[in-house]
Structure 1
Amino acid sequence: MPEPETAPGTLRPGGRTARVRAAVLRAAEDALIECGFDGIDLAEVARRAEVGKTTVYRRWGSPRVLVADLLDDMAEQSVARAETGSLDGDLRANARLVVRTLTDERQGALFKAVIAAATGDERTAEALHRFYATRIAEWAPCVTEAVERGEVPEGTDAAEVVRAVSAPLYYRFLASGDPLDEAVADRAAHAACCAARAGAYVEPRSSLAE
């Protein structure tokens, strides 16, 4: 069956259609957590969501389109950034949010399943990249505001600072298996903050001039 021409996430219907979408995405989450990407079957997702198979096939058309829409929805539903008045406080809030998400029984399992799926499917990978680009864009202003306050140097790459906060947390989550808790989150945030203040994330002058 051909995939829908409209990219997932471009339509935001209301009413019954929104309820159907929410039920299907919740069922897709359950299927991902229980069976992984390869175990997703649209007919089974429809059964779990208690909606017609025709509706699911017509709107999503394939598991990868469904997972891409799920990631878009996750980005939309993510918690807004904190505004504590200091870079250290904002980055600490960001790091603690990442840790809470990754250590949540359901959300942690879902992220592992989605990341695993993205390693073998280009469309899922693109959706995952959009998800993280959205989250980075949400939190980047905490760094640009810190530049305006004089906390960090002019030319600091805000996105790189935000990435530096979450990178060691995802390393523990996916690679090393070391504990994830608030102390680890605070340390990651403090390290990124200190590096930013020292100018480690200032863009090269050649890049700034382009």
Structure 2
Amino acid sequence: MTSVTELNPTSIGTVISPERTLRADARRNREAVIAAAKKLFADQGLDAQMPDVAKAAKVGVGTVYRHFPTKEELIAALANDRFERLAEKARESLETDDAWEGVADFIRFSAQIQADDRGLCEVMGSRPGVMGAAADAAGLPELCDRLVKRAQRSGQLRRDLTWEDIPMIACGLGRITQADVGPAAGRWPRLVEIILDGLRAPGSGKLPRPV
């Protein structure tokens, strides 16, 4: 009698991910939850609640909790999505002809994505563990390192900048974008350019060594 293994020799050791085993309707529900959560957390920040996500996604609260047992797990999933987008932008920036513009465009994009997403800005400012895990999963540290070294080799970026400075700059800019309200609203892009001007080589002074 022919065994299952003989019929499917390539199946030995194959691991099927939980995502692939979800029923089609379950996948649609998960996608609806993520889409609704993106908008709610972008508008309301981390104050957004799971019942509100369920209502916006047009699913039951139980469905939300089946996919994301805690609010923190949902926040982590949203952070992963946003950091994947940042990594995609970093890869695009590495393809620019001008190495300086690659760095500048990435920093501008980092500020803009936080201006558009209060939740992401709050995660970057208050949840370093979530931010670090999402950045590592997306490969962002290595991409930032390549951006920095490429611009330094071209002589356009100050030599004492390190890739670790980029996330700190991005976090600071995010806070600025969210505080940019009132009569002077809309000035944060100007501040981004002021910061970028300070990153150009040779730099007006030597940066203190990282602690």
The TM-score with structure 2 as length reference comes to 0.63
Q: Which amino acid aligns with 1:22?
A: E
* 1:170 aligned partner: 174
**45-54 or 149-158, larger mean C-alpha shift:** 149-158
From 156, 170, 184, the equivalent of 2:191 is 184
* 2:131 aligned partner: 128
Change in CA separation of 1:167 and 1:50 when aligned onto 2, cut-off 3 Å: closer
* 1:62 aligned partner: 70
Task: Tell me by how many angstroms 1:93 deviates.
Answer: 0.7
Counting only pairs closer than 5 Å after superposition, residues 19-168 of structure 1 correspond to structure 2 as: 19-33=28-42, 36-41=45-50, 43-78=51-86, 79-81=88-90, 82-83=93-94, 84-104=96-116, 107=117, 109-112=118-121, 114=123, 119=126, 124-132=127-135, 134=138, 135-149=140-154, 157-160=162-165, 162-163=166-167, 165-166=169-170, 168=172
Q: Look up the SS of the partner of 1:158 in the other structure.
A: coil
Change in CA separation of 1:27 and 1:194 when aligned onto 2, cut-off 3 Å: same
Change in CA separation of 1:94 and 1:35 when aligned onto 2, cut-off 3 Å: closer
Q: Look up the SS of the partner of 2:193 in the other structure.
A: helix
Task: Tell me by how many angstroms 1:59 deviates.
Answer: 2.3
Q: Which amino acid aligns with 2:81?
A: D
Deviations 1:6-37 (A, max 9, x none): xxxx9655883544332111222344355553
- Rounded to whole Å, the distance in 2 between the matches of 1:113 and 1:171 is 8
**60-69 or 169-178, larger mean C-alpha shift:** 169-178
* 2:12 aligned partner: none
Task: Tell me by how many angstroms 1:89 deviates.
Answer: 1.4
Q: Look up the SS of the partner of 2:188 in the other structure.
A: coil
In structure 1, the gaps of 5 or more residues are 1-9, 205-210
Q: Look up the SS of the partner of 1:194 in the other structure.
A: coil
Deviations 1:39-87 (A, max 9, x none): 412x442332233544422221111111111111221233422133444
**22-31 or 162-171, larger mean C-alpha shift:** 162-171
Change in CA separation of 1:201 and 1:149 when aligned onto 2, cut-off 3 Å: farther
